[in-house]
Amino acid sequence: MRRFLISAAVVTSAAMLIAAPAYPAKKASISVSPTSVPAGSMVHISGSIPVKGCPASDGATVTADAVLFPPDGFGPSAERDSNGDFALDYTVPTSTPAGSYDVGLRCGGGNVGVGASLTVTAVPLGGPATGAGGTAQRSVFWTAFGASCLLLAGIAVTLRQRLARRGRRPSIRA
Q: Domain locations in the chain?
A: 19-121, 136-164
Q: Is a pLDDT exceeding 60 seen at residue 86?
A: yes
Q: Rounded to an integer, what distance in angstroms lies between the CA atom of residue 32 and that of residue 48?
A: 12
pLDDT of res. 71: 92
- Least confident segment among 20-34, 41-55, 110-124: 20-34
| Contact between 80 and 86 (Cβ < 8 Å) | yes
Q: Rounded to an integer, what distance in angstroms lies between the CA atom of residue 48 and that of residue 154?
A: 70
Residue 71: asked if its preceding bond is cis (omega within 30°), the reply is: yes
Provide the whole-model pTM. Answer: 0.58
Q: Rounded to an integer, what distance in angstroms lies between the CA atom of residue 37 and that of residue 92?
A: 8
Q: Rounded to an integer, what distance in angstroms lies between the CA atom of residue 91 and that of residue 42?
A: 4
- Going by DSSP bridges, is the β-strand pair 85-91/42-48 parallel, antiparallel, or unpaired? antiparallel
| Measured torsion, CA atoms of residues 129, 134, 138, 140, in degrees rounded to the nearest 10 | -70
What's the CATH fold of domain 19-121? Immunoglobulin-like (2.60.40)
| Contact between 86 and 44 (Cβ < 8 Å) | no
Longest CA span, the chain? 150
Element (H, E) at 117: strand 110-121
pLDDT confidence tier of residue 130, bands split at 50, 70 and 90: low
